[in-house]
């Protein structure tokens, strides 16, 4: 009898699980329920359609349910929300949102890929119609419609990557943009001295960055949004974007009695199995182990979500693939600059009480005599005794992505700063230097 797999959530983790399951078993019955109208869309591309870089909205809709049915023989149901799991009967209850009917579906294996939901702090005025969050296509459409209508100003609340990408997108559309961040830095995954240049760079493009002030309340007046910050600082704008983080979407899992971890994500083992061996979970909804500290944490990123979905499908079909730990490798474009990091930050090392050493180097992205390069800030964190790499961050203009990915690979491989000296990396003047920034960081650290 063919295995019947039900997947809840049809984007990164869910679709990669479904597609992988099909590749491993031609006969399996694979059913995907997605509560929204779109599946498998490119959420990471949403800010770039608002900015106008990705002109055609259709480019974000990577595949349609019809494609998935034709190419992979998946049964994909959009506007179908799974509302209950019965673990004893091994069924899910699903609401068809188009006509409000309810249906029941049996599973042999269930994969929860329910993602995460943008935080909307419960504060006065937060439901103002011109305060937006950005997670999916309808959110993007709503924001873009307001921008296209010709508003003049926006306040972006939150200096994480979505806030920074949105501030850039709106500024490039010609709006006056305020970015407000409660902590004393933007891009919390980097250390403060590394993220500083990114904030200055945003200012140089006309984004007004305010650090160290949180939002107390919102008010609406004459169609405008009034944002009241700490210290009685009041700002007005035509619209506001709330980008203050996400919360794992675990309602279904919790109601079904599956184990939820301390960070609020679904607990899974290395095969992405929940506390019920017939139910797997993957993506932003789950907790993962930090690669360096070993602590449970949340790492809502697309790469891990895709990999975890694939691992869940592998395990259902008897493969021993494992998801061990998350390194949190990430990268961000900020106008002409790039900031990236991998492994653990200095802040987190201090918090975890881990002994470390650090070096900073400022090499050019490529050979100085070839046009178009600038010095980058490169920071390396490593163990005080053996020199094992713990983390790396880079901020600059050209070549940041390449160095972060080399260092991400080095951390994954358990390499030391001594190994970095010896790495033989590709070189021609437009791309690098005979002594690559990664080699240089190794020389200085060793
Ligand atoms: P999601 O993609 O959120 O998919 C979950 C789906 O489950 C949703 O469509 C939801 O509607 C559906 N669902 C939930 N509950 C139910 C239910 N009960 N029944 C049916 N369906 C349900 N990551 C990066 O690594 N790099 C980036 O540059 C980057 N940029 C981003 C930019 C933006 C604007 C956003 C929003 C995210 C970005 N991310 C980025 C994060 C990345 O998109 C997520 O980590 C990834 O999408 C997580 O995949 P997922 O499948 O777990 O969750």
Q: What is the per-residue pLDDT across 188-206, written as a single tens digit (0 to 9) for each?
A: 999 999 999 999 999 999 9
> Residue 222: which pLDDT band, with cuts at 50, 70 and 90?
low
Return the sign of the alpha-carbon dihedral for residues 407, 413, 418, 424.
Answer: negative
Which residue CA neighbors atom 42 of ligand 1 most closely? 302
Quick one: which atom of ligand 1 is closest to the CA of 166?
Answer: 34
Nearest to 227 by CA among 151, 155, 171: 155
- Helix/strand/coil for 302: helix
Query: What pLDDT was estimated at residue 146?
Result: 97
- For residue 286 and ligand 1, the question of a CB distance below 6 A is answered with no
- For residue 65 and ligand 1, the question of a CB distance below 6 A is answered with no
Which residue CA neighbors atom 28 of ligand 1 most closely? 44
> Residue 228: which pLDDT band, with cuts at 50, 70 and 90?
very high
Q: Which of 48, 250, 301 to mutate to test the pocket of ligand 1 (most atoms within 8 A of CB)?
A: 301
Measured in whole angstroms, the distance separating CA 383 from the mean position of its chain's CA atoms is 27
Contact between 188 and 393 under an 8 Å Cβ cutoff? The reply is: no
- Helix/strand/coil for 202: helix
* Residue 383 backbone zone (phi > 0: left; psi -120 to 50: alpha; other: beta): beta
pLDDT tens-digit series, residues 362-406: 999 999 999 999 999 999 999 999 999 999 999 999 999 999 999
Contact between 188 and 332 under an 8 Å Cβ cutoff? The reply is: no
Distance CA 434, CA 432 (A): 7
Quick one: which atom of ligand 1 is closest to the CA of 116?
Answer: 3
Nearest to 315 by CA among 270, 359, 251, 379: 270
Query: What pLDDT was estimated at residue 223?
Result: 76
User: Chain-wide mean pLDDT for the chain?
Assistant: 97
Instruction: Give the Å distance between the CA of 16 and the centre of ligand 1.
Output: 12
- pLDDT > 80? residue 34: yes
Contacts of 195 (CB under 8 A, 6+ apart): 185, 186, 187, 339, 395
Q: Could you say which of 24, 42, 44, 211 is catalytic?
A: 44
Q: Which of 79, 284, 323 to mutate to test the pocket of ligand 1 (most atoms within 8 A of CB)?
A: 284
- pLDDT > 80? residue 11: yes
Q: Identify the bridge partners of residue 155 per DSSP, sorted by sequence position.
A: 178, 240
Which residue CA neighbors atom 14 of ligand 1 most closely? 114
- pLDDT > 80? residue 441: yes
Which residue CA neighbors atom 18 of ligand 1 most closely? 82
pLDDT tens-digit series, residues 126-141: 999 999 999 999 999 9
Instruction: Give the Å distance between the CA of 43 and the centre of ligand 1.
Output: 7
pLDDT tens-digit series, residues 89-128: 999 999 999 999 999 999 999 999 999 999 999 999 999 9
Q: What is the mean pLDDT of residues 302-324?
A: 97
- pLDDT > 90? residue 220: no
Contact between 318 and 311 under an 8 Å Cβ cutoff? The reply is: no
Contact between 271 and 244 under an 8 Å Cβ cutoff? The reply is: no
Distance CA 35, CA 97 (A): 8
What percentage of the chain carries pLDDT values higher than 90? 98
Q: Which ipTM was obtained for this model?
A: 0.99
Q: Identify the bridge partners of residue 210 per DSSP, sorted by sequence position.
A: 180
- For residue 249 and ligand 1, the question of a CB distance below 6 A is answered with yes
Instruction: Give the Å distance between the CA of 350 and the centre of ligand 1.
Output: 31
Which residue CA neighbors atom 38 of ligand 1 most closely? 44
Distance CA 86, CA 89 (A): 6
Provide Rg for the chain, Cα atoms: 23
Distance CA 347, CA 340 (A): 16
Distance CA 107, CA 191 (A): 45
Query: What pLDDT was estimated at residue 185?
Result: 98
Instruction: Give the Å distance between the CA of 8 and the centre of ligand 1.
Output: 12
Query: Would residue 44 show up in a list of annotated catalytic residues for this protein?
Result: yes
DSSP state string for 99-152: TTEEEEEE-SEEEE---EEE-----TTTT-TTEE--SSHHHHHHHHHHHHTT--
Query: What pLDDT was estimated at residue 173?
Result: 98
What pTM does this model have?
0.97
Instruction: Give the Å distance between the CA of 9 and the centre of ligand 1.
Output: 9
Query: What pLDDT was estimated at residue 62?
Result: 82
Q: What is the mean pLDDT of residues 402-420?
A: 98
Contact between 125 and 220 under an 8 Å Cβ cutoff? The reply is: yes
Query: What pLDDT was estimated at residue 117?
Result: 98
Q: What is the mean pLDDT of residues 329-344?
A: 98
Contact between 4 and 107 under an 8 Å Cβ cutoff? The reply is: yes
Q: Residue 290 CB: number of other CB atoms within 10 A?
A: 19
- For residue 328 and ligand 1, the question of a CB distance below 6 A is answered with no
């Amino acid at each position: 009898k063919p295995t019947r797999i039900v997947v809840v959530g049809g984007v990164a983790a869910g679709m990669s699980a479904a597609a992988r399951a099909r590749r491993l078993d031609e006969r399996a019955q694979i059913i995907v329920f997605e509560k929204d109208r779109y599946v498998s869309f490119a959420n990471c591309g949403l800010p770039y359609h608002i900015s106008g870089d990705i002109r055609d909205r259709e480019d974000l809709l990577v595949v349609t349910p019809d494609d998935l049915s034709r190419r992979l023989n998946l049964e994909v149901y959009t506007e179908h929300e799974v509302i209950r799991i019965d673990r004893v009967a091994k069924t899910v209850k699903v609401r068809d949102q188009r006509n409000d009917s309810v249906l029941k579906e049996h599973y042999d294996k269930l994969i929860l890929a329910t993602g995460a939901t943008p935080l909307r702090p419960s504060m006065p005025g937060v439901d103002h119609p011109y305060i937006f969050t950005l997670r999916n296509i309808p959110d993007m459409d709503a924001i873009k419609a307001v921008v296209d209508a010709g508003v003049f100003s926006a306040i972006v609340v939150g200096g994480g990557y979505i806030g920074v990408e949105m501030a850039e997108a709106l500024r490039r559309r010609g709006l006056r943009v305020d970015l407000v961040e409660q902590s004393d830095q933007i891009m919390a995954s980097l250390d403060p001295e590394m993220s500083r240049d990114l904030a200055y760079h945003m200012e140089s493009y006309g984004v007004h960055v305010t650090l160290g002030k949180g939002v107390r309340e919102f008010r609406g007046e004459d169609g405008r949004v009034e944002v009241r910050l700490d210290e009685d600082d009041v700002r007005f704008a035509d619209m506001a974007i709330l980008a203050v983080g996400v919360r794992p979407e675990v309602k279904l899992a919790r109601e079904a009695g599956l184990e939820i971890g301390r960070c609020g994500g679904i607990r899974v083992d290395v095969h992405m199995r929940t506390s019920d061996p017939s139910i797997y979970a993957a993506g932003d909804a789950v907790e993962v182990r930090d690669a360096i500290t070993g602590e449970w944490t949340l790492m809502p990123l697309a790469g891990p979500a895709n990999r975890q979905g694939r691992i869940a499908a592998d395990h259902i079909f008897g493969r021993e693939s494992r998801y061990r730990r998350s390194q949190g490798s990430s990268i961000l474009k900020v106008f002409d600059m790039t900031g990236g990091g991998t492994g653990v930050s200095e802040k987190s090392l201090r918090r975890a009480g881990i002994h470390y050493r650090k070096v900073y180097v400022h090499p050019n992205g490529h050979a100085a005599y070839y046009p178009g390069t600038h010095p980058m800030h490169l920071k390396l964190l490593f163990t005080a005794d053996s020199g094992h790499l713990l983390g790396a961050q880079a901020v600059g203009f050209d070549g940041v992505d390449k160095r972060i990915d080399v260092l991400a690979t080095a951390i994954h491989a358990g390499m030391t700063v001594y190994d970095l000296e010896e790495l033989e990396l590709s070189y021609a003047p437009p791309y690098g230097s005979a002594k690559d920034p990664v080699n240089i960081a190794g020389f200085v650290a060793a």
